[in-house]
Amino acid sequence: AQSVSQHNHHVILSEAASLELGCNYSYGGTVNLFWYVQYPGQHLQLLLKYFSGDPLVKGIKGFEAEFIKSKFSFNLRKPSVQWSDTAEYFCAVIPYSGAGSYQLTFGKGTKLSVIP
């Protein structure tokens, strides 16, 4: 079974600071990778996804993530955060095929607080 580990439980940054949130997964086969975001009072929304191809993927609102297969990592980055980025961020993985290829496995989430 797959698992996801997010390194930081709570990150506090000032506006304009750079952001990197770590995500590592455990699974022996090919996976699809996602970052979801949950803004206060809102439901989970997809930020970006990796299925195949260029390991550097760009998402909405200036976010990007890099898939490093050798490190089983899919870290999320943003060069300059804004107060409106305050939210909880979840990394998730799903096997490309075979057993479990229907369920997203999520990390525990990282709460980001951006101070104006």
Q: Which residues bind another protein (CB under 8 A)?
A: 4, 32, 34, 36, 42-46, 49, 51, 90, 92, 94-97, 101-109
Shortest distance, position 103 Cβ to another protein, whole Å: 4
Q: What is the dihedral of CA 70, 75, 77, 82, to 10 degrees?
A: 180
31-38 and 10-14 as β-strands: parallel, antiparallel, unpaired? unpaired
Indicate the residue among 70 and 97 with the shorter CB distance to another protein: 97
Q: What is the dihedral of CA 29, 59, 46, 96, to 10 degrees?
A: -20
Indicate the residue among 16 and 46 with the shorter CB distance to another protein: 46
Q: Is 52 helix (H, G, I), strand (E, B) or coil?
A: coil
Indicate the residue among 6 and 73 with the shorter CB distance to another protein: 6
Indicate the residue among 16 and 60 with the shorter CB distance to another protein: 60
Shortest distance, position 116 Cβ to another protein, whole Å: 26
Shortest distance, position 106 Cβ to another protein, whole Å: 3
Q: Are 34 and 85 in contact (CB under 8 A)?
A: no
